[in-house]
Structure 1
Amino acid sequence: MSAARIHRLGAPDAIAIDTVEIPALEAGEVLVRVHAAAVNYPDCLMIAGSYQTPTELPYVPGHEAAGIVVDIGDGVSTFTAGDRVAVLAPHTFAEYVTAPAHSVTPIPDAVDFASAAATWVCHLTAYHVLRSVARISPGDRVLVLGAGGGIGLAAVELATMLGADVVAAASTREKLGAARAHGARVLIDYTAGDLRTQLRATCGPGSLDAVLDPVGGTHSEPALRELRWGGTFVTLGYASGHIPAIPLNLVLLKGPVIKGFEVRTFAQHDPIGAARDRAEFDNLWRDGRLSPLVHARFPLRRTREALEAVAGRRSVGKTVIEMGRD
């Protein structure tokens, strides 16, 4: 099969398209022919060797895909060959991938492969954060930083669905337009001036119930300063490339709840919440209530360009690699 692989750590230009063996199927796993795989910012970090876990070379990036089951391992009774599925597993930038059966889910009939690949990581992450970490209630005012990215746009859509009053912050008109289309009521343009000044002018001082931050960088602290007393700040990642340092006196003065979220380990730490969220999320997906924005589609041979679009924060919503696309 063909797979996008790196043999050295670095920028997206480290990617090569190699011919490799189809992965061996083990007990409890399914083998999926990949039709589409979504690019997420952590893929760029892993290629650079900058992620929280080490990258072992040679390495096939990608963690999110959709395709058709072609074979099942011993002990698997939930899937059969021919099933259309979404996959949450490593090494998805390839024509085939294996995954534990518990990391595979059926795709609703009305959902195409690209949309299915673009849904799972960001939307499920955002749902866990809103439902179990920030514990959003109807009427809460929620600020989403990086609202035009994959997680940010998913958070805007799902927070609106949960009844929140969503404030979206992003850096371009296109990203802010997408956030508005997905339910944001208030739009904040990073380039229009100081974030804190804009928040105070549009929302009122200290009026945020929660902040969701997948970006980090210079905007984290001013967002934290505009939380109400006892509000919740959730850090999800550092797409800006900069991990901010928060003055502890803000915690003393504002009494916020500051939490972190990582989708890889959430089910280990909160299995009850993870199972509940997953069941609710599956219902939303089957009912057609999720609408991921697929911004760009690339063939496998142009994986480098797809990664560059995400690394350069030019992607609005999700960027997808389609295996049969020329």
Structure 2
Amino acid sequence: MKAVLCRRFGLPEDLTIEDIPSPVVGPGEVKIAVKAAGLNFPDVLIVQGLYQLKPTFPFSPGLEIAGDVLEVGEGVEHVAVGQRVMGIVNYGGFAEEVLVPAGMVIPMPDNMPYEHGAIFPIVYGTSHIALSHRAQLQAGETLLVLGAAGGVGLTAVELGKLMGANVIACASTREKLALAEQYQADHLINYIKEDLRDAVKDATNGHYADVIYDPVGGALFDEAIRCVAWEGRYLVIGFASGRIPELPTNRVLLKNSSLVGMFWGAYAVNDPAVMVRSLDILLGWYAEGRLVPHISATYPLEQAAVALTAMMNRQTMGKMVLRIS
């Protein structure tokens, strides 16, 4: 089978496409014939050695896939051979066949194409648990989304509206803001051209944001932390800017606000019931047509490096997909 391989830490252009043996399924595992794989920012980090997880060489990047079940290991009962499924792995998804722990294999709705399945669980799961479980977002509250046209950011806009929030989308270009507007953002802020605090103040009549969703970090965090409302919640989702910011804690104290971390993958280990409930809700909404994933580009497996480079250079909106077979 073909796979994208990382043989040493470096840039996406250093990745190779090679034939490797088909994996052997073990107890509690599911072998999936991959039809599509989603790209996520950790894929860019892991091949450079900048991610918290550093696999043994050689390895394939890729966190989420969709395809057909080829084999099930001992003890696996919730899926069967031939079934259409989504799968989540720590790495290894950019390959024609992948072994996935049974608990991370999710049957797909009948109306979901493979491309949607391959980009669905991580970004929608992150935003849903962040907004509903961690921030306790309520209908009528104001949600400020940074990086609003990115993979997770756009789902936060979409879910925030579905949950009844007043959504302010923040992005760096007119094109990105236009995409957020298509997903029904109520207010648009170009943080390159506008003062973020003044713009949020104007959009909320001086109330500021009850919940701030931040997958960017860096200098944008330094500005956005000043935009949190009284008893507001600031969600730390990630650091796409490349810099992990530091916080003068008096800013949290003065507004009785909360800084709330959100690492979706940790729920699989520490509280999987939260993840299961969330995905059940999300897949129900998808089946009802209430969620519409945005795919900005689709590449063949052989162009994985091109796709990862575009992501690294922040040239994408929504999600990108690799078609594997």
**Helix, strand or coil for the counterpart of 1:46?**
helix
Contact 2:125/2:275 (8 A) holds in 1 = no
Distance across 2 between alignment mates of 1:75 and 1:237: 35
**1:227 correspondence with 2:228:** yes
Question: In structure 2, what is the equivalent of residue 124 of structure 1?
Answer: 125
CA shift, 1:205, in A, is: 3.1
Q: Is the 1:131–1:277 contact (alpha carbons within 8 Å) kept by the matching residues of 2?
A: no
Q: Post-superposition shift, 1:140?
A: 0.9
Find the aligned partners of 1:124 and 1:204 in 2 and give their Cα distance: 31
**Gaps in structure 2 of 5+ consecutive residues:** none
Alignment-derived partner of residue 260 in structure 1:
261
Secondary structure of residue in 1 paired with 2:54: coil
- CA separation of 1:251 and 1:152: change in aligned 2, threshold 3 A: same
**Partner Cα separation in structure 2 for residue 17 and residue 27 of structure 1:** 29
1:21 maps to 2:16: no
CA contact (8 A) 1:47 1:55 kept: no
Q: Size of the alignment, in residue pairs?
A: 324
- Measured in 2, the distance between the counterparts of 1:245 and 1:139 equals 30
Matching residue of 2:141: 140
Secondary structure of the structure 2 residue equivalent to 1:265:
helix
Q: Distance in 1 between matches of 2:214 and 2:266?
A: 18
Partners of 1:214 and 1:32 in 2: CA distance = 30
Q: Paired residue for 2:45?
A: 45
**Residues in 2 aligned to 1:83 and 1:265: alpha-carbon distance in whole angstroms:** 27
1:72 maps to a residue whose letter is V
The aligned runs of 1:66-105 (5 Å cut-off) are: 66-89=66-89, 90-105=91-106
CA distance in 1 between partners of 2:34 and 2:99 (Å): 10
Q: Give a deviation string over 1:191-217, Cα, whole Å, max 9, x none.
A: 212222222232233421000100101
Shift of 1:266: 2.1
Q: CA deviation at 1:269?
A: 3.7
How far 1:106 moved relative to its partner?
A: 1.4
C-alpha separation in 2, matches of 1:310 and 1:40: 8
> Residues 1-326 of structure 1: matches in 2 within 5 Å?
1-89=1-89, 90-324=91-325
| Paired residues of 1:49 and 1:55 also in contact (CA < 8 A) | no
| TM-score, length-scaled by structure 2 | 0.96
With structure 1 as the length reference, what TM-score do the two structures score? 0.96
Residue identity in the other structure for 2:51: Y
SS in 1 for 2:192: helix
> Deviation of residue 21 (structure 1)?
1.1
Amino acid at match of 1:132: H
- 1:200-236, Cα deviation, whole Å (9 max, x unpaired): 2322334210001001011112211111121000101
TM-align CA RMSD: 1.4
Name the aligned partner's letter for residue 164 of structure 2. G
Q: Which amino acid aligns with 1:13?
A: E
* One-letter amino acid matched to 1:15: L
Name the amino acid aligned to 2:291: L
Secondary structure of the residue that 1:69 maps to in structure 2?
Answer: strand
Question: CA shift at 1:267, angstroms?
Answer: 4.1
- Does the 8 Å contact 2:145/2:169 carry over to 1? yes
Q: Distance in 1 between matches of 2:274 and 2:72?
A: 29
